[in-house]
Amino acid sequence: MGFKMGIVGLPNVGKSTLFNALTKTAAAQAANFPFCTIEPNVGDVAVPDARLDTLAAIASSKQIIPTRMTFVDIAGLVKGASKGEGLGNQFLANIRETDAIAHVLRCFEDGDVTHVDGRVNPVEDADTIETELMLADLESVEKRRQGLTRKTRGGDKEAIQQDRLLEAAQRALEEGRPARTVDVDEDDKKAWKLLQLLTSKPVLYVCNVGEAESATGNAHSEAVAAMAAAQGNSHVIISAQIEEEISQLDAEEAQMFLEEMGLAEAGLDRLIRAGYELLHLETYFTVGPKEARAWTIREGTSAPKAAGVIHGDFEKGFIRAETIAYTDYVTLGGEGPSKEAGKMRAEGKAYIVKDGDVLHFLFNN
């Protein structure tokens, strides 16, 4: 499992350019006019992880299979999107299917690129988008609560739980707060997630800066950073222009280009890492002569649940997991030496998988 991130933003903020660069495709038309993205574009990309290459080299794996994440490029929202302005409704529906939302904010000055509101103010842009998502949520919540009335009166437990959660969301939205500010009990989390409220999703602000400001950011990105911190959200600084240039280069040329720009890594790496942190995701590995493979799980996942990411039968018939920490595997030189040094552990159903674990599962068919 990777994760699905919806990329949203006002028209002409560099959203589709970023999507093209991240997925190394030209599937999303990048043009200097609103609504150039008419259907959501979906792109799968490999999650870069240097640890996977290291493990594969030690095990002489014939194939390297990284975990993947999905970007969904959703057409530019505008004021009134919640009421259907700018073809807003169909795009709001696409956001519901994502795990997180990346708000791409224009943090660059360029007189040749039109801003839909005729000014550059990323904090106001973020507020515009958030407001439209909250208005869409509020309308949805009110309709759904009306539809539940008969069932709640009849004592339907599931309907009563849904209505209680929807009421909490409605209260927050009417106070001008997104649904993610609602404090949800552990017992309600599954039902809460199934509500698929737009503003319940974690938010990552993507500050799209000019090429010369890619390493340091600017006053606009600093304002976004302050806003994100106040909200408890995350932000990352990226130059979509640079990412687009990098996407056309081979690995060696890309590294040289990054060094010239004073960047330690590509924006894709930073964006994915920020997304993983936002969603509390981590990676474990399976390694052998046939293949070295990365798997994505949520923090706190038990060994049987982690096995189930590979195949449902692995979880159902789980016996134990043979576990080697990444650092032990690399330092000692592979599975055999790790086992001889007593660094391979047999873990049962209660074991919580750690980021970087190299695992082998034993299960009943």
Over its length of 365 residues, how does the chain's per-residue pLDDT go in tens digits?
Answer: 558 889 888 888 888 888 888 776 434 434 444 434 445 578 888 888 899 999 999 999 999 999 888 888 886 565 655 555 444 456 667 788 888 999 999 998 876 665 656 678 999 999 988 998 899 899 999 999 999 999 999 999 999 999 999 999 999 999 999 999 999 999 999 999 999 999 999 999 999 999 889 888 999 999 999 999 998 888 999 998 888 888 888 878 888 988 888 888 888 888 888 888 888 899 999 999 999 999 999 999 999 999 999 999 999 999 999 999 999 999 999 999 999 999 999 999 999 999 999 999 999 87
Same domain, 209 and 350: no
Q: Please answer whether residues 214 and 238 qualify as being in contact, where contact means their C-beta atoms are separated by less than 8 angstroms.
A: yes
Burial level of 188, CB count in 10 A (0-12/13-18/19+)? middle
Count of structural domains, the chain: 2
In this structure, are 99 and 31 located in the same domain? yes
Measure the CA–CA gap between 287 and 51, rounded to whole angstroms: 11
The CATH number linked to 26 is: 3.40.50.300
Predicted structure pTM score: 0.82
The Cα-based distances of 253 to 59, 99, 124, 245, 260 in angstroms read: 28, 33, 38, 11, 11
Same domain? For 205 and 345 the reply is no
Q: Are 240 and 208 in contact (CB under 8 A)?
A: yes
Last residue of a domain, one of 224, 248, 278: 278
Q: Are residues 211 and 334 in the same domain?
A: no
Q: What is the CATH number of the domain that holds 310?
A: 3.10.20.30
Torsion sign across C-alpha atoms 184, 186, 187, 188:
positive
Structural domain of 355:
300-363
